[in-house]
């Protein structure tokens, strides 16, 4: 399977891919902007082929990459795959559809006369950054001959479940990642990832039975997708059978791939508390890397210089016991950052511990390559304490290249202070 990914990645590499940036007035290279059609007066029923999104810089307007993600009821319409969903209004803008572009592409405010040249229907989308106190603008226009951007930030190869941007490449088998390479001007490096690790230990009340579950004990299936110039959206289904007729079925998971980051929101509904059945549940989620020797691990509780990845655990690494929701793996200007956020009700019940294992001799099957250099992620404790409720969580992975010490603080501050988006007629100022 890895050989297939290599062949497919070379094919994708021949396609044109554009790097995002440099950013305009809004310096947010990771943030997409979603604008619901319901906030764009007069857009409903407009053919999508008549739309363009334009940004002005230095007095000149240029089209920027965008896509319209249509909806089918409350679901995103993902038209490809074994279980596709079709939009309610194929090819025309429906009231719940989303116009999606990257905040980094926004420009300056344009004079009304300049915007009027673009088309009869125009809407000004105003982005306000509460971190930098900067504003950016784009203009959504509808016209018979809309200007089009040839730029494309992301591509998707469904036969190998392979997503590629200028900064990273991710491949999945059975809907779970097992291939990750970092991109640069010289192309892509080797596969750094052995696989995703989803492990759990669960003990029934009265110690009647004990289970150790892993990511391969279940059915994981890609069921639908959509690939646009700004993002790829995948929908997958995951089911785990733990015996005694007990099935744990997660809600259909969605993953969003952007030019420089991956976003995985999730939710789960517990009709009853696991504590009615289980005495103890501990869960682990993380990424097991093949060989990041020379990289450094930074997280809450690590020394200022971080932990040095070398395949061996020193005393400080063995005793590392920190609570946190983020960590960074850095090597020179290359850096990856992972951030996990949980809803308030989930945070109250589950303790989230950081996991760092740097051991080239470690064996923790199932795995393709022995050793964890390193294994990084999170361990959730006291899962059995969760009451019946609905819970939300979010996983984000950022490519911070080019990295400078402390860049993670800016990413965290931007997550805590999202962009404010306002829409007015283009002649409304």
pLDDT in tens, 74-94: 889 999 999 999 998 899 999
Taken in order of first residue, the domains within the chain and their CATH numbers are: 21-151 (no CATH), 188-416 (2.70.98)
| Banded pLDDT at 9 (limits 50, 70, 90) | low
349-369 mean pLDDT: 95
The secondary structure of the chain, three-state, reads CHHHHHHHHHHHHCCCCCCCCCCCCCCCCCCEEEEEHHHCCCCCCCEHHHEEEEEEECCEEEECCCEEECEECCEECCCECCCCCCCCCCCECCCCCEEEEEHHHCEECCCHHHHHCCCCEEEEEEEEECCCCEEEEEEEEECCCCCCCCCCCEEEECCCCEEEECCEEEEEECCEEEEEEEEECCEECCCCEEEEEEEEEEEEHHHCCEEEECCCCCEEEEEEEEECCCCEEEEEEEEEEEECCEEEECCCEEEEECCCEEEEEEEEEECCCHHHCEEEEEEEEEEEECCCCCCEEECCCCCCCCEECCCCCCHHHHCCCCECCEEEEEECCEEEEEEEEECHHHHHHCEEEEEEEEECCCCCCCCCCCCEEEEEEEEEECHHHCCCEEEEEEEEEEECCCCCCCHHHHHHHHHHCCCEEEEEECCCC
pLDDT at res. 136: 99
pLDDT exceeds cutoff 50 at 318: yes
| Banded pLDDT at 122 (limits 50, 70, 90) | confident
pLDDT exceeds cutoff 90 at 167: yes
CB atoms within 10 A of CB 427: 11
pLDDT at res. 42: 87
| Banded pLDDT at 4 (limits 50, 70, 90) | very low
| Banded pLDDT at 242 (limits 50, 70, 90) | low
The whole-model pTM stands at 0.93
């Amino acid at each position: 399977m890895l050989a297939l990914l290599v062949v497919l990645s070379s094919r994708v590499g021949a396609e044109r891919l554009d790097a995002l940036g440099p950013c305009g007035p809004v310096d947010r290279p990771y943030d997409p902007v979603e604008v619901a059609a319901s906030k764009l007066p007069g857009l409903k029923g407009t053919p999508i082929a008549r739309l363009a999104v334009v940004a002005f810089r230095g007095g000149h307007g240029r089209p920027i990459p965008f896509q319209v993600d249509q909806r089918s009821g409350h679901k995103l319409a993902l038209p490809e795959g074994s279980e596709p969903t079709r939009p309610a209004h194929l090819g025309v803008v429906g009231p719940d559809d989303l116009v999606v572009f990257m905040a980094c592409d926004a420009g300056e405010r344009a004079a009304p006369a300049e915007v009027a040249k673009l088309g009869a229907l125009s809407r000004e989308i105003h982005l306000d950054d509460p971190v930098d106190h900067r504003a950016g603008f784009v203009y959504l226009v509808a016209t018979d001959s809309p200007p089009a951007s040839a730029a494309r930030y992301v591509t998707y190869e469904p036969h190998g479940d392979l997503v590629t941007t200028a900064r990273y490449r991710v491949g999945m088998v059975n809907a779970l990642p097992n291939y990750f390479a970092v991109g640069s001007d010289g192309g892509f490096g080797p596969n750094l990832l052995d696989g995703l690790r989803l492990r759990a230990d669960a003990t029934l009340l009265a110690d009647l039975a004990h289970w150790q579950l892993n990511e391969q004990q279940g059915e994981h299936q890609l069921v639908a997708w959509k690939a646009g110039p700004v993002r790829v959206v995948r929908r997958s289904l995951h089911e785990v059978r733990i015996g005694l007729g007990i099935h744990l079925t997660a809600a259909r998971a969605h993953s969003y791939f952007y030019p420089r980051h991956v976003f995985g929101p999730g939710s789960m509904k517990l009709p009853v508390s696991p504590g009615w059945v289980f005495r103890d549940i501990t869960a682990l989620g993380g990424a097991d890397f093949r060989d990041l020797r020379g990289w450094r691990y930074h997280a809450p509780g690590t020394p200022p210089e971080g932990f040095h990845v070398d395949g061996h655990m020193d005393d400080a690494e063995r005793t590392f016991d920190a609570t946190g929701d983020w960590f960074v793996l850095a090597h020179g200007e290359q850096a990856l950052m992972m951030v996990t956020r949980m809803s308030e009700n989930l945070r109250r019940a589950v303790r989230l511990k950081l996991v760092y294992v740097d051991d080239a001799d470690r064996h923790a099957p199932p795995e393709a390559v022995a050793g964890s250099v390193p294994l990084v992620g999170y361990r959730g404790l006291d899962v059995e304490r969760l009451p019946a409720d609905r819970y939300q969580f979010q996983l984000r992975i950022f490519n911070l290249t080019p990295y400078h010490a402390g860049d993670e603080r800016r990413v965290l501050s931007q997550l805590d202070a999202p962009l404010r988006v306002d829409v007015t007629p283009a002649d409304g100022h």
